[in-house]
Chains A and B, each alone.
Chain A
Amino acid sequence: MKSQHPRLRELKFTLYRIFRNPSAVIGFLLILFFLAVAVFAPYIAPPKYAHNPYLMPHKGFSPTPKPPSKTHILGTASGQYDIFYGVVWGTRTAFKIGLFVVGFAALVGIALGAIAGYYGGTVDEVLMRITDIMWAVPTLVLAMTIVVAFGRGLDKIMIALALVGWRWYVRVIRSEILTLRDQDFVQAAKIMGVSDTKIILRHILPNAIYPALIMASMDMGSMVITASFMSFVGLGAPKGYADWGQMVALARNYIVGPPDDPLKFWYTIVIPGGCIVLFVLGWNLIGDALRDAFDPKLRRR
């Protein structure tokens, strides 16, 4: 019998380990659901303004939210913005934020971490000191400062978070590479005259990438949380933009209803808020399952 390629076998084994875990299945289902909503957004909630589908349609300007009805199945927020429309298109916004921020941060972080770890010496020293400086200020505070400098807006928030987020990956990848660098298979490749770039890409990174993958999965959630908080404060999307954080901000003055019915406007906050929580939960469940699947101590037992 012809045996499989070892990398393929390893992948199969990893996938088996991941999907044996029920929380991973729930996580993947959640994210698949959101992905489907994001992809089919134009069919689920046809845009009213063709030039900018992210603008939530609204009828009138009454500040009081209206409960779910036939025309607005999830009700309307303050300013009569349709919550259903906002939630559907907000899924796209969330994916945009997560993919851009995490993609950029992971790419830059992994590249810098690989260079620092593999070459060592002065390069390592300089890169790590720069990373140290970036570490000293918490994500939210630094990101807020950058947003203020660049001007408000969702795109500015994404740029700011990407500029702050890479520092995690540098440290993780570097420490992984430090343990791999002096192992026999790397030395063997060097003696055979393989170029440094090829050693890093073909031989070292595939062995060092898992912690970064876990982190990226968790980051998809936490970056969306941070971005939605900044939108909530008023640094992000303008009023009426389909963004979950901005929708929570719209609900802010209506968390307490009239005295006879204090929970009257629950839907304005629970629906967009629930979307944020489920989205983040999905990524965290995946990250948690990945950690179990890749943990070498638990791996083959």
Chain B
Amino acid sequence: MRFNGLSRHNRLNRLNLVIMLAYITRRSLLLILVLFGVSVLIFGILMTFSPERRAATFVSSPQQAKDIPRIIKQFGLDDPFYVQYIRWIKEVFKGNLGWSLVASRPVSEAFWNYFPVTLEMNLFAAPIVIIFGIWLGTLSGIHRDTWIDHSTRILAIVGWSLPTFLFALVLLMIFYGYFQIFSPGVLSDHLSMFILDNPDSFKAYTGLYTLDGILNGRLDITLNALSHLVLPVLTYVIVVVALNMRVMRSGMIEELSKEYVITAIAKGADKHTIHIKHARRNALLPVITVAGQLVAYSMEGSVAVEVVYNRHGIGWWLAESAVQLDIPVLMCICLFMAVIFVITNLTLDILYAYIDPRIRLN
């Protein structure tokens, strides 16, 4: 009775689950170690400032310079490294990340102001990058060494060679300067003034102007925000799509040379089925990794785009803080990046282990 097919299947399933859980736990522990390491690294880099210089950020006028020794004592700025580190990390866990000079408000509060701007751009750009990358990569993999392949290859290399900030400037020069259709910023001035003046009639439900416009019944704001998104998204897509495309292409070429494809051809399956149903599905695996990396590194691409188009998001905040020596912000953004990196990696690991059983047994 106990040894019928179903219960054996169940037992195998349970074994699989245990292995999977053990694998996830192991990966999570490693990633927590990474987070800890990053926090020590970042804190260590910024501890290279002398106590005097760090105290000077609390001082606003030269007359207060005599207060510096008192400040050093009060905040324990010359304590041993580990004492200061523990004090800092305790505050971080409480959600206190310090004061931002650039935003002139607490870092944690300012963060949620800037984050939606970056998120909005990435939400629009990511699907385009992934869909175009997969589509063009598949095409050039199938039609290898034809004009399609060569032109996507040129597109990829040129895309790689274009510095984001430069491409953004040139687009701004053409579309803002010459054609006068798209302007920098997140919203047109009269609309952002309207929102500032009427906080009651326009509620920020999500912080994403495109979505808030719909939720508040102000389609003009949505359309305006969308028109401000065209150039940033275009810049980002052109520069980033190349990587996705090349990975997809080499994956396709590799899969198409495997024996199961030859078998399928021999059995008379039609080309479309072989390409799309068999080869592409397998070639998608490496693309998942790249897409994951894209999520983790999307912030990096956003920096140049936000600086040039004057969109006040996380990337702009980072650049501005680096110029104005706003150290708490730099620490916060580094930690934030590390957290995003860890979460994406964990998701990818689980996804991979789920798809490919060899990984979790290794």
Contacts and interface: CB of A to CB of B under 8 A. Distances in A.
Genuine A/B complex: yes
Interface of A: 23, 129-130, 132-142, 144-150, 218, 221-222, 225, 228-229, 232-235, 248, 251-252, 255-257, 262-263, 266, 269-270, 273, 276-277, 280-281, 284-285, 288, 297
Contacts of B34: 129, 132-133, 135-136
Interface stretch (B199-207, B262-270, B271-279, B297-305): B297-305
Contacts of A266: 173
Interface string B20-42: 00000000001001110110011
Chain A CB count within 10 A is highest, among B160, B169, B176, B334, for B160
Interface range on chain B: under 10, 10 to 19, 20 to 34, or 35 or more?
35 or more
A23 B157 contact: yes
Contacts of A130: 37
A140 B49 contact: no
B169 A221 contact: no
Contacts, number: 141
Contacts of A235: 322-323
Contacts of B46: 145, 148-149
Contacts of B42: 137, 145
Contacts of B173: 255-256, 262-263, 266, 269
Interface in B235-291: 254
B178 interface: yes
B186 interface: no
A285 B157 contact: yes
A276 B166 contact: yes
Interface stretch (B81-89, B121-129, B335-343): B335-343
Given A144-B318, A148-B325, A221-B160, A248 B165 contact: yes
B303 A140 contact: yes
B337 A137 contact: yes
Contact of A142 (B33, B177, B334): B334
A234 B323 contact: yes
Contacts of A133: 34, 37-38, 41
B122 to A, nearest CB: 14
A69 B206 CA distance: 53
Nearest to A235: B322
Among B45, B161, B180, B337, the most chain A Cβ lie within 10 Å of the Cβ of: B161
List the 3 closest pairs (A to B, CB-CB), nearest first.
A133-B37, A256-B177, A138-B300
Given A132-B37, A149-B45, A276-B163, A141 B177 contact: no
A221 B158 CA distance: 12
A277 B322 contact: no
Contacts of B157: 23, 281, 284-285, 288
B208 interface: no
A177 to B, nearest CB: 18
Contact of B300 (A139, A263, A277): A139
Contacts of B334: 137, 141-142, 145
A283 to B, nearest CB: 8
B330 to A, nearest CB: 5
B178 A233 contact: no
Given A145-B42, A233-B307, A136 B337 contact: yes
Interface of B: 30, 33-35, 37-38, 41-42, 45-46, 48-49, 153, 157-158, 160-166, 169-170, 172-173, 176-178, 180, 254, 296-297, 299-300, 303-304, 307, 318-319, 322-323, 325, 327, 330-331, 333-334, 337-338, 341-342
Contacts of A262: 173, 177-178, 180
Nearest to B314: A141
A277 B161 contact: yes
Given A141-B337, A144-B330, A235-B322, A273 B177 contact: no
Contact of A129 (B33, B48, B178, B333): B33
Contacts of A218: 160
Nearest to A27: B157
Contact of A148 (B38, B297, B327): B327
Contact of B163 (A150, A228, A252, A263): A228
B337 A273 contact: no
Given A129-B37, A235-B323, A141 B299 contact: yes
B239 to A, nearest CB: 10
Given A141-B300, A150-B48, A280-B163, A273 B170 contact: yes
Contacts of B331: 145
A297 B296 CA distance: 31
A273 B173 CA distance: 13
A285 to B, nearest CB: 6
A142 B46 CA distance: 11
B341 A135 contact: yes
A114 to B, nearest CB: 23
B322 A144 contact: yes
Contact of B166 (A147, A257, A277, A285): A277
B54 to A, nearest CB: 11
Given A263-B173, A284-B160, A229 B165 contact: yes
A284 B159 CA distance: 10
Given A149-B48, A248-B169, A269-B173, 19 more contacts: A132-B30, A133-B38, A136-B35, A136-B38, A136-B338, A137-B337, A140-B300, A141-B299, A142-B334, A229-B165, A233-B307, A233-B323, A235-B323, A255-B173, A262-B173, A262-B180, A269-B166, A273-B166, A277-B166
Contacts of A228: 163
Nearest to A263: B178
B299 A138 contact: yes
Nearest to B338: A136
A225 B160 CA distance: 10
Contacts of B178: 262-263
A253 to B, nearest CB: 11
Given A138-B296, A269-B169, A233 B327 contact: no
